[in-house]
Structure 1
Amino acid sequence: MSSSSSSSSGSSPSVSSDIRWYGVTKPIKHINELPVELVMRVFSYLDNEDDRWAFMTTQWRWFNIAVDALWYRPGINSADQVDLLCQTLRAHSPQADYAAMIRRVNLSTVAKSVNDYVLDSFTRCHQIERFVISEAENVTDEGVCAVLQANSNIQSIDVSMISSLTDRVLQELANNCPGVQGIYATHCVGFTDEGIAHIASKCPALKRAKFGGCRLLSENGLGMLVDGCRYIMELDISCCGAGTSMGSISDSMVKSALEKLRSLREIRLGSNEDLTAKAFDLKPGTTLESLRLVDLTSCPGITDEAIAKLIQLAPRLHNIVLAKCISLTDRSLALIAQLGHSLHYLHIGHCSQVTDRGIAAIAQNCPRLQYIDVANCNRISNRTLQELSMLPRLRRIGLVKCNQIDDVGILAFTRRPLLENTLERVHLSYCSAISVAVIKKLLDSCPRLTHLSLTGVPSFMRPELTQFCRDPPLDLTQHQMSVFCVYSGSGVHRLREYLNRNHAHIEIAAFDPEVLAMRQEPMES
Structure 2
Amino acid sequence: MARRESAEREEEEARVCINEALTDDELRAVLARLDREEEKDTFGLVCKRWLRLQSSERRRLRARAGPAMLRQMAQRFCGLVELDLSQSASRSFYPGVTDSDLSVIVDGFRGLRVLNLHNCKGVTDAGMITLGNGLPSLQSLDVSYCRKLTDKGLAAFVLGCCNLKRFHLAGCKSITDHLLQALSRSCSHLEELGLAGCNSITDAGLSILANGCRYIKSLDVSKCSKIGDLGVSRTAEVSSSSLKTLKLLDCYKVGDKSIFTLANCCHNLETLVIGGCRDVSDESMKSLALACGGSLKNLRMDWCLNITDLSLSRLLSNCRYLVALDIGCCDKVTDSAFQALGMGGFESDLKVLKASNCLRITVIGVGTILQYCKSMEYLDLRSCPNVTRLGCEQAGLHFPERCRTNFDGSLSESDAMIGGFF
Q: Shorter-chain TM-score category?
A: 0.7 to 0.9
Partner of 2:123: 139
- AA at the equivalent of 1:100: C
Q: Is the 8 A contact 1:132 1:159 kept in 2?
A: yes
Q: Is the 8 A contact 1:180 1:203 kept in 2?
A: yes
Partner of 1:404: 360
In the alignment, is residue 122 of structure 1 matched against residue 105 of structure 2? yes
> In the TM superposition, what whole-angstrom CA distance separates every residue of 1:329-387 from its partner, at most 9, and x where no partner exists?
44334323313333322222222333334322222222222122111111223333454
Distance 1:349 1:224 in 2: 30
Q: Is the 8 A contact 2:170 2:198 kept in 1?
A: yes
- AA at the equivalent of 1:427: D
Partner of 1:74: 61
- For 1:163-174, what aligned pairs fall within 5 Å after superposition? 163-174=147-158
- For 1:361-376, what aligned pairs fall within 5 Å after superposition? 361-376=314-329
2:348 paired residue among 376, 387, 392 = 392
- For 1:226-305, what aligned pairs fall within 5 Å after superposition? 226-238=210-222, 240=224, 242=225, 248-249=226-227, 252-259=230-237, 261=238, 264=239, 288-299=240-251
Q: 1:225 is paired with a residue of what secondary structure?
A: helix
2:377 paired residue among 415, 421, 424 = 424
Partner of 1:104: 82
Residues 344 and 406 of structure 1, relative CA distance in 2, 3 Å threshold: same
- AA at the equivalent of 1:89: L
Partner of 2:161: 177
Q: TM-score, normalised by structure 2?
A: 0.76
Distance 1:46 1:212 in 2: 33
Q: Which has the higher contact order (CA 8 A, sep 6+)?
A: 2
Name stretches of at least 5 consecutive residues in structure 2 with no aligned partner: 1-19, 416-422
2:53 paired residue among 65, 76, 88 = 65
Partner of 2:335: 382
Root-mean-square deviation over aligned CA pairs: 3.6
Q: Is the 8 A contact 2:308 2:332 kept in 1?
A: yes
Residue 42 of structure 1 deviates from its aligned partner by 4.2
Partner of 2:311: 358
Partner of 2:418: none
Residue 170 of structure 1 deviates from its aligned partner by 1.5
**Percentage of pairs with the same residue:** 23
Distance 2:280 2:183 in 1: 37
Q: TM-score, normalised by structure 1?
A: 0.63
Q: Is the 8 A contact 2:279 2:304 kept in 1?
A: yes
Residues 395 and 109 of structure 1, relative CA distance in 2, 3 Å threshold: farther
Q: 2:144 is paired with a residue of what secondary structure?
A: coil
1:35 paired residue among 10, 26, 37 = 26
Distance 1:303 1:42 in 2: 52
2:134 paired residue among 150, 162, 175 = 150
How many residues align structurally?
A: 385
Residues 353 and 162 of structure 1, relative CA distance in 2, 3 Å threshold: same
Name stretches of at least 5 consecutive residues in structure 1 with no aligned partner: 1-28, 77-81, 243-247, 265-287, 457-465, 467-484, 490-525
Q: 1:35 is paired with a residue of what secondary structure?
A: helix
